[in-house]
Amino acid sequence: MKILLIEDEPKIAEFVIKGLSGAGYDVSHADDGAKGLASILEGEHDLVILDLMLPKINGFDVLHQAREGGNTTPVIILSAKVDLPDRLMGFDMGADDYLPKPFFVEELVARIKAVLQRKTPEPVKQISVNHLSLDVVSHKVQWFEATAVLSQREFSLLAFLMRSPGHIYSRQQILKHVWEINFDPETNVVDVCVRRIKRKLERGNGKKASPIESVRGVGYRLKLGD
């Protein structure tokens, strides 16, 4: 597995590279955001470990530009910014996990394994419900004439709903399945992710509303009809 580390602190970079190399990973290193973004867009890595406070381009902008460009490589944010708003912003922009500094390299390895297991393609190549289809390899979604590329988190959420169309899932159930992390039950991270998916599905479709339906006071479901 090839891992890209984007970290400007030499001692931390050395610590991470040594630990991950010892765990059997092939690690490359970028010491600023501009180099890191260029390496991400090359598409040669299986996972990215991203610091936020970087020179040239900060980590949030690196992640945003990568996702806007259609790159779906899993990203684990590794940062000393530990406040909840920063963590939620990271997930909102498409991060797959968020590990605060200081950290144990053993935990980082465990999180890498968990994220890569989620990334493993499923036996089926496509999930389809009525006019909605989702490619499980490329993460491309099509809703009528509109097509878009989903981030890893968006893909996981939509696939979760599509596997049981019509079933209503609570926000807590979605958090547990898609994020696999215990969040404050008051967090709106699910709602933000759903809104982002809806925008992508409705873009270019005129009056064709997204098939994701909000059930007031309960959660979300994928509508059975058009």
Is 135 in the same domain as 63? Answer: no
Domain coverage including residue 177: 126-222
Is 112 in the same domain as 137? Answer: no
The token duo for 103 is 């950290």
Is 97 in the same domain as 19? Answer: yes
Is 10 in the same domain as 97? Answer: yes
Handedness of CA 194, 135, 111, 66 (dihedral sign): negative
Q: What is the pLDDT of residue 197?
A: 93
Q: For residue 40, how many C-alpha atoms fall within 13 Å in the half-sphere facing its CB? A: 29
Q: What is the pLDDT of residue 1?
A: 83
Give me the CATH number covering residue 144: 1.10.10.10
The burial of 102, by beta-carbon neighbours within 10 Å (0-12 exposed, 13-18 middle, 19 or more buried), is given as exposed
Q: What is the pLDDT of residue 70?
A: 81
The dihedral formed by the CA atoms of 46, 180, 221 and 201, expressed in degrees to the nearest 10: -30
Is 180 in the same domain as 109? Answer: no
Is 99 in the same domain as 134? Answer: no
Q: What is the pLDDT of residue 122?
A: 46
The token duo for 44 is 């040669």
Q: How far is CA 93 from CA 24, 51, 67, 138, 141, in A?
A: 29, 14, 8, 19, 18
Report the distance separating Cα 189 and Cα 31, nearest Å.
30
The β-bridge relationship of strands 132-135 and 146-149 is unpaired
Is 18 in the same domain as 109? Answer: yes
DSSP-based three-state secondary structure for 93 = coil
pLDDT in tens, the chain (226 residues): 899 999 999 999 999 999 999 989 999 999 999 999 999 988 889 999 999 999 999 999 999 999 888 888 999 999 998 888 888 889 988 899 999 988 899 999 999 998 888 765 545 678 888 889 999 888 999 988 888 999 989 999 999 999 888 889 988 888 888 887 665 666 788 999 999 999 998 886 666 788 999 988 889 999 876 5
Give me the CATH number covering residue 80: 3.40.50.2300
Is 43 in the same domain as 79? Answer: yes
DSSP-based three-state secondary structure for 68 = helix
Is 78 in the same domain as 140? Answer: no
State pLDDT tens for residues 159-202.
999 988 888 998 888 888 888 766 566 678 899 999 999 999 88
Is 113 in the same domain as 14? Answer: yes
Is 146 in the same domain as 113? Answer: no
Domain count, the chain: 2
- Among 69, 92, 119, the domain-final residue is 119
Is 8 in the same domain as 115? Answer: yes
